[in-house]
Homo-oligomer: A and B are copies of this chain.
Amino acid sequence: MKFLANLLAVPLLLLPAQAQVFTFTHDEMLKYTSHNPFGRFEDGRPKVPDAILAKVKGLSAEEVWAVLPGGGFHNQYEGNFRILHPNRKLVGRAVTAQFMPARPDVADIMEADAKGKGLRDNGNQRVLDLLKPGDVLVVDLFGKIEEGTIVGDNLAAYIYAVTGTGLVVDGAIRDLEGIQPLDMSVYFRGAHPTPIRNVMLTGINVPIRIGGATVMPGDVVFGDSEGVYFIPPQMVKQVVDKADETHIHDEWTQAKIKTGKYKSTDIYPSPRDPALKKEYEEYKKAKLAQQ
């Protein structure tokens, strides 16, 4: 009965989004993420496979950044976060949400829409209801701290229970102490005791801006102790492949450094002496062959 299931699934998935100002039709989602080489969710959002996400988890930031600018992607990184567990990597597929300062005229229309669809009136939770395993919620709250708290400890626990990943918010969280014990990764601008207020949820799964980065639904989110990277699906394979080579290069370079026999410019960024250069090329070839 997969056919019927799909029929039912689609409205359920799309309803909440349709109660927002900004959302994509299925066609628009396909159009704006048309470079995605992988499968998709029912709403069209790119679904980078779990196997690839697992590989991304093993990458370093250097390996991610080694590829993105070359592909013309200069605006896929944002730092300046407070990070709940800096030593835990955050990897998953972006679900995006955009908030704006509340206006009753616009908010009322959206709430009427939502009510018509049987949705409760908690704007910030509607997007939570959409989350799936492997998703990472990425929220534009325009840097609001006071009354800009996307979740407290209960809803943070919900996010972690459903996704197994974490949260990126250009805004705040509540109940830091209650969230700390959770194993989840959270990137946030600040913590404040006030509940979220005076904002409205204007977009779900549309392009959003997080600081200097533009995030698309379905991007692979990669967070480390430095900040967060948003990798377009079509770049992920290249990132993973190139990483092997970078890894070999670093291994060889650091081994040479440890000998104490070389000046920095002798071996980095590439060996200077022809003999060393050859040695490195052979090492790389051999290593790549083993992969």
Q: Is the CB of B32 within 8 A of A106?
A: yes
Is the C-beta of A250 less than 8 angstroms from some C-beta in chain B? Answer: yes
Is the C-beta of A77 less than 8 angstroms from some C-beta in chain B? Answer: yes
Q: Is the CB of B225 within 8 A of A176?
A: yes
Complex partner residue of A125 from B100, B176, B193, B264, CB under 8 angstroms: B264
Q: Is the CB of B60 within 8 A of A177?
A: yes
Q: Is the CB of A79 within 8 A of B260?
A: no
Given known A-B contacts A79-B190, A100-B207, A157 and B254 have beta carbons under 8 A apart: yes
Assign chain A's interface to a size class. 35 or more
Interface string of A71-91 (1 = CB under 8 A from B): 111111101000000000000
Is the C-beta of A119 less than 8 angstroms from some C-beta in chain B? Answer: yes
**Inter-chain contacts of A75 with B (CB < 8 A):** 101-103, 198
Q: Is the CB of B257 within 8 A of A178?
A: no
Give the complex CA separation of A125 and B272 in angstroms. 13
Give the complex CA separation of A174 and B206 in angstroms. 31
Q: Is the CB of A161 within 8 A of B125?
A: no
Number of copies: 6
Given known A-B contacts A75-B102, A226-B176, A142 and B234 have beta carbons under 8 A apart: no
Is the C-beta of A162 less than 8 angstroms from some C-beta in chain B? Answer: yes
**Inter-chain contacts of A192 with B (CB < 8 A):** 77, 79, 226
Interface string of A216-236 (1 = CB under 8 A from B): 100000001111010010100
Interface string of A40-70 (1 = CB under 8 A from B): 0000000000000000000011101100010
Chain A residues engaging chain B, CB cutoff 8 angstroms: 21-22, 31-35, 60-62, 64-65, 69, 71-77, 79, 100-106, 109, 119-120, 122, 125-126, 128-129, 142, 145, 152-155, 157-158, 161-162, 174-178, 180, 190-194, 198, 200, 202, 206-207, 209, 212-214, 216, 224-227, 229, 232, 234, 250, 253-254, 257-258, 260, 263-265, 268-269, 272
18 pairs from A and B in contact (CB 8 Å cutoff): A61-B175, A62-B152, A62-B178, A65-B194, A71-B104, A75-B103, A79-B192, A105-B216, A120-B272, A122-B269, A129-B263, A154-B257, A154-B268, A158-B264, A161-B260, A176-B226, A191-B226, A193-B226
